[in-house]
Amino acid sequence: PDSFGTRPHRFRTLNAAADLSSQNEGQSRPSPTLSRWPRRRRNRRGRQGACPSLMPSPLRTAAAIAGVIVLAVIAFATLSPLNLRPETGEPANLERFAAFAALSGAFVLARPQRWLWILLLTIAVAALLEAAQNMLPDRHGRLIDFAVKAMGAGVGLLAGLCVDRLASLCLRASGRRAP
């Protein structure tokens, strides 16, 4: 790696010697502009990107597994015949909203830095499941059902991001460092 520990020497420009000679006298490190690839920008605290999450890795793994389980239950409940569909006794729109809120919330707790991809993929799953219902003889996909699922995905994502941020702030306040 180079003196910054980020790029191997082969990524330096061909004219690195000339670039080094143009630097201030007495400076021993090459300038970061010599790298062929642009360096990631750091925020004012010196971190890359947003505030790093401090939640322990086993909790992130559990959240990812819970997200996959919720996705499987949603797919089964959406595509199974009506007599096999689980019922909670609550209104159907509330069930849809809560299911997709749990789905996006679990995945965003597992990977909070990928929140936009999680939101887009969760909404895409809702659209695909509603479209797949139109191919079944006893089910019907409706636009209002999709809208309720998309709203649930958005609310669940926001709730998951809030929980992740609060957990990080609490762990930081207690003096723990990122794993």
- Across residues 67-89, what is the average pLDDT? 89
Please tell me the distance from the alpha carbon of residue 169 to that of residue 171, in angstroms, as a whole number.
Answer: 5
pLDDT of residue 132: 93
Average pLDDT, the chain: 78
26 vs 43: CA distance, rounded Å: 28
> With 90 as the cut, is the pLDDT of residue 127 above it?
yes
pLDDT at position 31: 52
Distances (CA, A) of 77 to 43, 70, 88, 103: 44, 10, 12, 14
Residues 17-57 pLDDT 10s: 545 555 545 555 555 555 455 555 554 555 544 455 666 78
Integer Cα distance of 159 and 152 in angstroms: 10
Q: Give me 114's structure tokens.
A: 């990928």
